[in-house]
Amino acid sequence: MPRKPLLCLLTAVLALTAAPAAADPRPPVPQQDAFYTPPSPLPDARPGDVLRSREVQLYAEPFRVFPAPVRAHQVLYRSTSATGRPNAVSGTVIVPPVPWLGGGPRPVLAYALGTQGLGDQCAPSYQIRVGSEIEIAFLVQALLRGWAVALTDYEGLGTPAKHTYAVANSAGRALLDVGRAATRLPAAGLSADAPVGVFGYSQGGQAAAAAGEQQAAYAPELDVVGVSTGGVPADLNLVARSNERGVGFGLVVAAAAGMSSAYPDLPLGDLLNSRGRDLVRKVENACVAEIAAGAPFGRLNDLTTRPNVIDDPRWQQRIRENLLGNTKPAAPVHLYHGTLDELIPYSGAVALKNRYCAAGAQLDWRPIPLGAHITTVSLWGAAALNWLGDRFAGKPAANSCG
């Protein structure tokens, strides 16, 4: 590496050990922060247009002693719901001090974080300000390579509406639109022609895969060079049924709440019994650890006054609308999944891989032997980011489809 860029890199890293910043009061939670409340009515804006922004400090640790040496802006941007309605989504655009050494515009990583929860206090744009975001290592890896990072909070997480958790059509649009917002935010200094890499795991993997499928029709002007996605809940029927009486049952309840938020026509609230109403109320205001611990080993039928609610034709129609793999992504895709994933069955990933190949996708498929849900991203997440680095460098991607 040439000496001058190396010195810039070292300076940025050493800045993390600089003297503590002056007193920086803990920001209010989104429920008490007017920034997250969209203007009403929404202005006539394009998807991805920034409705408002502000510069913020980010922290990698909960004591909030050392602010990250980056330029960071929270954004409220125009997006589109699963049913096609204009909405406003919050997010964060981060630009590192490290130079981009690859030539051409600085790349943008459109990053969809894994499950955060359904309560507004779980929004990534808030957690990264208070130092509680658990995926910080991957963010640092991207920033140290000179990439800008655009994080979405997803629809209804942070903003007043309910979070549409596990709804692929909503999440994919929110992710593409935060990539657009990053390039349209003057303070970020990013080019409209910047190459964009899409990245996510678990809930983020669903969003990333959906973004890859939607990009050609929804955001054709974005130069998406690759989609790196893992642990994808591609088939919600499979995920729901495999987690009945399992450790991940709380996430099934969260997904049911998220789907009913996205699609008001779905029967749920009026079919819950008292136990179900109490659990859904708790889940809608909780972060992921509370959701996972609050309802293990349950069944949906224990929460409703009518059995097998998700077999209702209305539920099955909406689930089919969010099934991933039937649309060919325009960009190459890197798909990885642990063979022992206890939350999102490996068989679903194999089926997704087969649908992508049948659709004509350029797919680099990586099963992770003996990988459980969390260990898989711990073992392979850095490699998945490196795969995007090769796409930013213009290297051709492998193709696992015959």
The tens digit of pLDDT for each residue in 187-226 reads 999 999 999 999 999 999 999 999 999 999 999 999 999 9
Average pLDDT rounded to a whole number, residues 335-340: 98
Give me the domains of the chain, ranges plus CATH numbers.
Answer: 3-235+323-392 (3.40.50.1820), 236-320 (1.10.260.130)
pLDDT of 253 higher than 90:
yes
Residue 345 neighbours by CB under 8 Å, 6+ apart: 238, 239, 242
Burial degree of 57 (CB within 10 A; 0-12, 13-18, 19+): middle
Q: What is the distance between the alpha carbons of residues 23 and 26, in angstroms, rounded to a whole number?
A: 9
pLDDT for res 152: 98
On average, the pLDDT of the chain sits at 93
Average pLDDT over residues 363-390: 98
Count CB-CB contacts under 10 A for residue 374: 16
Instruction: Give the pLDDT confidence of 365-376 residue by residue, as tens digits.
Output: 999 999 999 999
Instruction: Give the percent of the chain with pLDDT over 70.
Output: 94
Closest by Cα among 74, 60, 64, 82 to 13: 60
Most distant CA pair in the chain, distance? 69
Instruction: Give pLDDT tens digits for 303-335.
Output: 999 999 999 999 999 999 999 999 999 999 999
User: What is the Cα–Cα distance from 219 to 222, expressed in whole angstroms?
Assistant: 6
The answer on pLDDT for 66 being more than 60 is yes
Residue 143: which of 19, 212, 60, 211 has the closest Cα? 60
Q: What is the pLDDT of residue 52?
A: 98
Pairing of strands 86-95, 71-80: antiparallel
Rounded to the nearest 10°, the torsion over CA 112, 117, 120, 123 is -30
Percent of the chain past pLDDT 90, that is, above it, reads: 89
Does residue 11 have a pLDDT over 70? no
